[in-house]
Structure 1
Amino acid sequence: MESIFHEKQEGSLCAQHCLNNLLQGEYFSPVELSSIAHQLDEEERMRMAEGGVTSEDYRTFLQQPSGNIDHSGFFSIQVISNALKVWGLELILFNSPEGTGQ
């Protein structure tokens, strides 16, 4: 029997450790997850800009910190979901109709 891969918790990089433990290897680093987070930030910025770059909502949005990453090592569920897509995997929330079998 092969050994089970376990990446110990380091700092606040829960998403990285979760993904690597799930996939059983060192597949994601903070740099790679940061790249996904910044890509999501840019997609969100572009969508917000569709409402007008001079709108109050857009200006307020630009002043807010990222919801996908922070300085502590936090990564959003959207980052985790996009990281899994690289492997052809889909994140299904446990309380969604798909997750409950309804």
Structure 2
Amino acid sequence: MESIFHEKQEGSLCAQHCLNNLLQGEYFTPVDLSSIAHQLDEEERMRMAEGGMGSEEYRTFLQVWEGSGGFSLFLLFSTL
């Protein structure tokens, strides 16, 4: 290995930097991770709605889901 890739921490993009440093290259951008997160959120929302959109679990899910803004560990490991 000629050199070690290191993406310096910028803002709150820990997941992006972690993945890129682990994979030793510029593989993910915030846009990439946002797109993956959106897809996973939509899939989860559909699964949660299967139990009924009026259920307590679904309403709780929507309250927790709205506006968190960060990339979760679930997203981080889903990309690998």
TM-score tier (shorter): 0.7 to 0.9
Runs of 4+ in 1 over 6 A off after TM superposition: none
Shift of 1:47: 1.1
Gaps of 5+ in 2: none
- 2:72 equivalent to 1:76: yes
Distance in 2 (CA, whole Å) between partners of 1:66 and 1:2 is 44
Shift of 1:59: 2.9
Distance in 2 (CA, whole Å) between partners of 1:63 and 1:44 is 14
TM-score, scaled relative to structure 2? 0.86
Shift of 1:66: 4.7
Residue number in structure 1 paired with 2:19: 19
Aligned AA (2:49): A
Task: Tell me how many residue pairs correspond in the alignment.
Answer: 80
Aligned AA (1:60): T
Q: CA RMSD in A?
A: 1.8
Distance in 1 (CA, whole Å) between partners of 2:26 and 2:17 is 9
Residue number in structure 1 paired with 2:3: 3
Residue number in structure 2 paired with 1:29: 29
Gaps of 5+ in 1: 85-102
TM-score, scaled relative to structure 1? 0.69
Give aligned-pair identity as a percent: 77
Shift of 1:44: 1.1
